Amino acid sequence: MMSNSNHPFWRNLFRKNSDQTHEITEMWMQTPLFENIPYRRCRELVGNMHPREYRADETIFNAGDIGASVVLIRHGEVEIRTGDQILAELVSGDFFGEIALIIDEPRTAKAVATKNSELIFFLRSDLEEWIQRSPKDGAQFMLNISRILAARLKQTNQLISSQES
């Protein structure tokens, strides 16, 4: 967690500590997921996100695993694979696994860290809670994610068409 844990009891009661959340918020704001969403709303969410570290060649998730989050690469590199085929090579600032934010279904591809990486997990449960709390921004977020998924679908359709012809 990136929020203010481990602080002494009698710290300044009315000042919230400032930490790495700003940098991560800025990274999320650069992604199409947070387009047209105010900075402070994104920062609220970042406070509840989960940073994790992966070694080079460590599997982040397998196709078929139960997924519950979208993942942002803070440092490092990640490959998305199906079987032996590499679907995408992602670097710092990229995100993946966004389908798990929408549906409670197994992951559709495998993700592997190709370098030592620090990843930020944004859980579906936190998104659901946020949507209830801020429905307007939640609706914008869902619109953004729909655009991303629609673009992916369009790409896939074009790929299939080109292979058929």
Partner 1 sequence: MLQPFIQHPLSRTVFLFGIILLVFSFFAALLAPLLFTIIISFVLYALLDPVSRILERRGMSSTASSLTVLFILIAISASVISLLMPYLSAQVSQLQEQLPSVWQTLLSFVQETIQHTASSMKLDLETSNNITQPFFDEANKIGKTALLAGSNLLIDLSVLVILVPIFTFFLVRDYRHFRNYLLDSLPNNSFELGWIIYHRVTNQLQEYVRGIMIQSGIMSLITSIGFFAIGLDSYILLGIIAGLLNLIPYVGPLLAMVLPTLLALAQAPFDPWLIGAAIGVIIVAQIIDNVIVIPSVIANAVNMHPIIVIIGIIVFGNLFGFIGMIIAIPAISTANLIFRGLHQGFQTRAVLTDS
Confirm or reject binding of residue 94 to partner 1 (CB under 8 A).
no
**Long-range contacts of 133-137, Cβ-Cβ distance < 8 Å, separation of 24 or more:** 134/41, 137/37, 137/38, 137/41
Binding mask 7-26 for partner 1 (x = CB under 8 A): x-x-xxxxxxx---------
Asked if residue 46 lies in contact with residue 28, where contact means CB atoms within 8 angstroms, the answer is yes
The nearer residue to partner 1, 17 or 36, going by C-beta atoms, is: 17
Could you give the residue ranges of the DSSP H alpha helices within 9-134? Answer: 21-29, 39-46, 124-133
Query: Which range binds partner 1 by CB under 8 A, 48-56, 85-93, 136-144, 148-156?
Result: 48-56
Q: Identify the residue among 46, 67, 73, 78 touching partner 1 (CB under 8 A).
A: 67
Six token digits for residue 127: 């998104």
Confirm or reject binding of residue 82 to partner 1 (CB under 8 A).
no
Nearest-approach distance from CB 14 to partner 1, in angstroms: 6
Q: Rg of the chain over CA atoms, in angstroms?
A: 17
Residue closest to 1 by CA, chosen among 56, 63, 50: 50
Confirm or reject binding of residue 105 to partner 1 (CB under 8 A).
no
Confirm or reject binding of residue 29 to partner 1 (CB under 8 A).
no
Residue closest to 21 by CA, chosen among 44, 52, 53, 54: 44
Confirm or reject binding of residue 135 to partner 1 (CB under 8 A).
no
Q: Which residues bind partner 1 (CB under 8 A)?
A: 1, 3-7, 9, 11-17, 44, 50, 52, 54, 58-69, 106, 121, 123, 125
